[in-house]
Amino acid sequence: MANIEPKKEQNKISLDEYIDKYTQPRNLKEVKLFFVLLVSAIGIIIFCMLFSFVSKLFEWNEIFGFIGIGISALIIIFLYVIPIVRISTSKHFQTNVNHENARAAQRHNARLREEIADKMIDLSVSTKGNGWYSDAKIAPIASARAKKDSKALSSALTEIYNTDIKKASRKMIRDMSFQVGLTTSISQSERVDTLIVTVTEINLIKKIVFLYGYRPNDTQMLKIYKTVIANALLAYGVQSATSSIAGGIGKLIGGAAKEIPFISTVIGSVTDGMINATLTAIIGFQTIHYLKREYKLQDILDGVEIEDSEETEQAMIVEIKKDISSASKQKPKKA
């Protein structure tokens, strides 16, 4: 009977095949520029909503206005600045590689897997009953780290991502989407709705990144932040749209509407909440989609066999330069 290689060995691909299939050319300077612009745009949206809120408070009472400034400052710091910084400073897997940096990317990804594992172990030990990681899933991770077995660690992380973390992330999305839906359904203010949706989505991204232990790459974060801005604009315009819809429904109901006070308001509020909850859930699932994709790609890259290491290539280049330098210094013999 012929020997059958493990499935992972059968699916190994060459570096050239990986680059052709999964690598996309990117202008890192442009990505970083747009990254800063989008993050700034989100901050401007939050600032404008808070400015409007504080202006209203000053119209009522000067003391209330100053209290509003203090509250706004806390919101900006704790619900915008800190989450953005934590997301941005979180590490991500390197999967967009070429022949020059592939080996370095493999080493980086291996170190990041170890860091993720250590954080999960520490969190599981320090916060018993957090409901994220079960002892049954953490045990193989701890064993792999103790043995310094990279393959076993990769397998254990894959298992926990497909079970405990998948369950915890879905609960996180469901809970925060429900909170957004409930809060915006009673706010009766498009500015408050926009503020709630925006800061909640940023903090949902932060929590999911913390749960997984790494973030999507910069290009993927650009797409996520663009969705956050689009959702903020939608949230701002949702209330007027749903008010019109609710008014139309009220007219269709006719006589029955007269027996139910504020039926148009109730219908509009419920619709607002449902739409805003959906927008928040979309951000959560988009983030998870990118995280899962990156983990899959780094796993594929980890199995890619690279014939020559960067050290070997660099050593060869140095030797060639020395040979050229020596040859150029030799004086031609006289005829």
Residues near 228 by Cβ (< 8 Å), separated by ≥ 6?
42, 198, 201, 202, 205, 283
Task: Give the helix ranges, DSSP H, for the chain.
Answer: 7-10, 15-22, 28-60, 62-76, 82-89, 102-126, 135-147, 150-162, 164-187, 190-212, 218-253, 255-259, 263-302, 310-329
Q: Over 252-274, what HEC string results?
A: HHCHHHHHCCCHHHHHHHHHHHH
Q: Quick check: is 139 in a domain?
A: no
Arithmetic mean of pLDDT, 286-308: 93
Q: Quick check: is 145 in a domain?
A: no
Instruction: Say if residue 293's pLDDT is above 60.
Output: yes
In whole angstroms, give the CA distance from residue 129 to residue 274. 31
Q: Please report the pLDDT score of residue 3 as a whole number.
A: 45
Instruction: Say if residue 249's pLDDT is above 90.
Output: no
Lowest mean pLDDT among 56-65, 204-213, 235-244: 235-244
Q: Quick check: is 195 in a domain?
A: yes
Q: Quick check: is 315 in a domain?
A: no
Q: Please report the pLDDT score of residue 270 as a whole number.
A: 79
In whole angstroms, give the CA distance from residue 126 to residue 325. 59
Q: Quick check: is 114 in a domain?
A: no
Q: Residues 269, 185: contact at Cβ < 8 Å?
A: yes
Q: Quick check: is 328 in a domain?
A: no
- The per-residue pLDDT for range 94-121, each reduced to its tens digit, is 999 998 899 999 999 999 999 999 999 9
Q: Quick check: is 143 in a domain?
A: no
Q: Quick check: is 105 in a domain?
A: no
Domain that holds residue 223: 13-97+168-306
Q: Count of domains in the chain? A: 1
